[in-house]
Amino acid sequence: MARRKRLTPANPAFLSEEPPAGAASAFARPAPIATVARDASSAAAMDELAETLSKARAEGRLVLALPLAEIETGYLVRDRLKADDEEMRVLKESLRARGQQTPVEVTELGQGRYGLISGWRRCRALVELAAETGEARFGSVLALVRRPAEASDAYLAMVEENEIRVGLSYYERARIAFKAVEAGVFETRQDALRALFHTASRPRRSKIGSFLGIVEALDGVLAFPETIGERQGLALAKALEADPALGARLADILHATPPENAEAEAAIIAQALAGPAVPKESARPTGEELVPGVFLRRRGDALTLSGPGLTDTLQADLAAWLKARG
């Protein structure tokens, strides 16, 4: 009869709910290949993110917070001559309550400096708020870094932004074209007009071009040039072209009697366009010319003497003669 093999009792450690010491860590540790794959994936993700951010910045799509002290607001000749006080007040209240909603546009100048392309009013409002409140949040500006291929592209960006947001006067449009040519950005005035106002109709560009003569003759002389209306501006441009000396005469008048407001300046311009008052010729005396320059006329019971020949001496002699006749 075969002998039956006696079973050995089970190892209590295998029956325990808790794994033996060291067993858990041995089985939980990932395989080396998994660690390598995870690290490679993380590095690739970081590289992709860095590349995306770098590309976004290069293309001007990444908004940066830049210290206002690093922004050169005079990088371009500004097209807006003045900021309306009420507009600035509203803008400052918006920035105070909601922060900056729209970034400005800048270009890198090197050594941590940036040239302002568009957004001059926002920068000015932030500077004023920083001075008034002392709050650090107003010490920086949200900006998009652009890379204009040429200076003309920067000027175009500035003009287009202002045309969309607030609009420009004819004088301001002509002035930025004039200054861009003066700075060597464009070769001729016509080139500047075509590039900066390419979306404008031909008649509108022609009117802007007419104001170039006013800018050339009176820039820095007029106190309120942005308020000159289309009709008066075109008349002034035509008059300056016909009489180049008109600009100097008008400048002398404005320096002698500086206008207090736009209406007063417009009145001075209108008077200059009308020309000096021509005194009316005095009516030639009627009647019989007794002697050169003395005329006698009778109407009923009245005798009238008139003319340039009447003098105090003649009056005295006539009075003495009449008295002598008794």
Nearest-CA neighbor of 233 among 174, 184, 191, 297? 174
The residue whose two tokens read 């019971």 is: 301
Q: How many CA atoms lie within 13 A of 57 on its CB side?
A: 8
pLDDT tens digit at each of 326 positions of the chain: 556 666 566 556 555 555 555 555 555 566 667 666 666 666 666 766 666 666 666 665 688 899 999 999 888 877 666 667 888 898 899 999 999 988 988 888 888 899 998 888 899 999 999 999 999 999 999 998 888 766 678 778 777 776 655 668 899 999 989 988 888 888 999 999 998 888 889 999 999 999 999 999 999 899 999 999 999 999 999 999 999 899 999 999 999 989 999 999 999 999 989 876 545 555 666 778 888 888 888 887 787 888 888 888 888 888 888 888 76
Supply the pLDDT for residue 158: 78
Q: Where are the domains of the chain?
A: 45-148, 168-276
The backbone region for 322, taken as left when phi is positive above 0, alpha when psi lies in -120 to 50, beta otherwise, is alpha
SS3 content of the chain, % helix, strand, coil (to 5): 55, 15, 35
Nearest-CA neighbor of 217 among 236, 203, 235? 236
Paired tokens of 318: 């006539």
Nearest-CA neighbor of 197 among 210, 185, 188, 206? 206
Is-same-fold flag (45-148; 168-276)?
A: no
Supply the pLDDT for residue 8: 61
- Amino acid sitting at position 264: A
Supply the pLDDT for residue 218: 94
Supply the pLDDT for residue 20: 58
CATH topology assigned to domain 45-148: 3.90.1530
Q: Which CATH architecture has domain 168-276?
A: Orthogonal Bundle (1.10)
Paired tokens of 80: 């807006």
Supply the pLDDT for residue 289: 82
Paired tokens of 128: 């004023």
Nearest-CA neighbor of 180 among 168, 164, 196? 196
The residue whose two tokens read 């006080």 is: 85
Can you spell out the DSSP letters for 249-268? HHHHHHHHS--SSHHHHHHH
The backbone region for 99, taken as left when phi is positive above 0, alpha when psi lies in -120 to 50, beta otherwise, is left
What does pTM read for this prediction? 0.57
The residue whose two tokens read 């209590």 is: 12
Nearest-CA neighbor of 175 among 201, 213, 139? 213
Nearest-CA neighbor of 197 among 149, 152, 147, 148? 152
